[in-house]
Amino acid sequence: MVKVKVESIQISLMSEHRVILLREIGSERLLPIFIGPYEAEAIAIRLREIELPRPLTHDLLNNIITEMGGQVSHITVNALRNDTFYAYITVNVMAEGIVPAADISDMEDDDLSIFRDFVDTLDLDDMPLQ
């Protein structure tokens, strides 16, 4: 697995499309990914730590994961189809000293079904209350 971090978000001078530049950690290699204007704006807001009056979709998902005692471990891009990247979000959930990892995906329905089955087996009585 190649680990990267966001280097910058830019606007292409040729096409006016937004480009997110990912830099490989410990290297000078860059991976440019063209993204939509709304995605670029959401990422820029997060990087600048701008407070909004209500959460964006990704903030809401992160808040839900956190409130359930989970933590995003990492995101793995595992496919490129029709110019669209697909990824898994690996979430660690602490329950009675056991840390199961659940992969939340935007892939196929079968993968989502497996995650739903995992969530259905969670016993909320075992989750820490805050």
56-99 pLDDT, tens digit each: 888 888 888 888 888 888 888 888 888 788 888 888 877 655 55
47 and 60 within one domain: no
What is the per-residue pLDDT for 130?
Answer: 46
Please report, for the domain that includes residue 81, its CATH number. Answer: 3.10.690.10
Range of the domain at 7: 1-51
46 and 22 within one domain: yes
88 and 105 within one domain: yes
62 and 36 within one domain: no
- Grouping H, G, I as helix, E, B as strand and the rest as coil, residue 85 is strand
Query: What is the token pair recorded at 89?
Result: 């979000």
25-49 pLDDT, tens digit each: 999 998 888 888 888 898 888 889 8
For residues 83 and 67, give the distance between their C-alpha atoms in angstroms, rounded to a whole number.
34
Output the pTM of the full model.
0.59
How many domains, the chain?
A: 2
The whole-number average pLDDT for the span 115-121 is 62
Give the Cα-Cα-Cα angle 19, 24, 28 (nearest 5 degrees): 90
Question: H or E stretch including 90?
Answer: strand 84-93
119 and 58 within one domain: yes
